[in-house]
């Protein structure tokens, strides 16, 4: 089946720093999604990308859908302590909500 490779696996940064994480796939997806999961909670959608090359922002978050449809990155600017959590990329092809998830990037922000 389709697999998503997400990197880095974990990041330890200082408050105020910018963060970048990315996701690559061996196959094409029509939709790329970025989620954040806090401990003991379900994932919360951050950004959805629908078109190759699309660049979308949500506050301090920016994500891009790669031209080849096989990759995406998420940037977080000026990190704050509440950014701590696990960030997952997910790919989707059916537009029906069935997603394949990456392995996640665990973000730790030091005050």
Partner 1 sequence: GAVVSQHPSWVICKSGTSVKIECRSLDFQATTMFWYRQFPKQSLMLMATSNEGSKATYEQGVEKDKFLINHASLTLSTLTVTSAHPEDSSFYICSAALTGNGQAFFGQGTRLTVV
Interface with partner 1 (CB under 8 A): 1, 30-31, 33, 35, 40-45, 48, 50, 88, 92, 94-104
The residue among 37 and 62 lying less far from partner 1, judged by its C-beta, is 37
Residue 30 and residue 43 in contact, taking contact as beta carbons nearer than 8 Å: no
- Rounded to a whole number of angstroms, the minimum distance from the CB of residue 111 to partner 1 is 24
CB proximity list for 80: less than 8 A, separation 6 or greater: 15, 109
- Which candidate, 73, 72, 76, places its Cα nearest to that of 59? 76
Q: CA separation (Å) from 34 to 14, 43, 78, 110?
A: 22, 9, 18, 23
CB of 9 to partner 1, least distance (A): 10
| Of residues 98 and 110, the one with the C-beta less far from partner 1 | 98
Question: Residue 14 or residue 94: which is nearer to partner 1 going by CB?
Answer: 94
State the nearest-atom distance from the C-beta of 69 to partner 1, in Å. 14
């Amino acid at each position: 089946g389709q697999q998503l490779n997400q990197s880095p696996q974990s990041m330890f940064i200082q408050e105020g720093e910018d963060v970048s994480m990315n996701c690559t796939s061996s196959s094409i997806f029509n939709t790329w999604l970025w989620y954040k999961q806090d401990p003991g909670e379900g994932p919360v959608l951050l950004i959805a990308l629908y078109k190759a090359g699309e660049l979308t922002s949500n506050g301090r978050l920016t994500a891009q859908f790669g031209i080849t449809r096989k990759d995406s990155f998420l940037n977080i600017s000026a990190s704050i302590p509440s950014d701590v959590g696990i960030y997952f990329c997910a790919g989707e092809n059916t537009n029906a909500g069935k997603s394949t998830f990456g392995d996640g990037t665990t973000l730790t922000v030091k005050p």
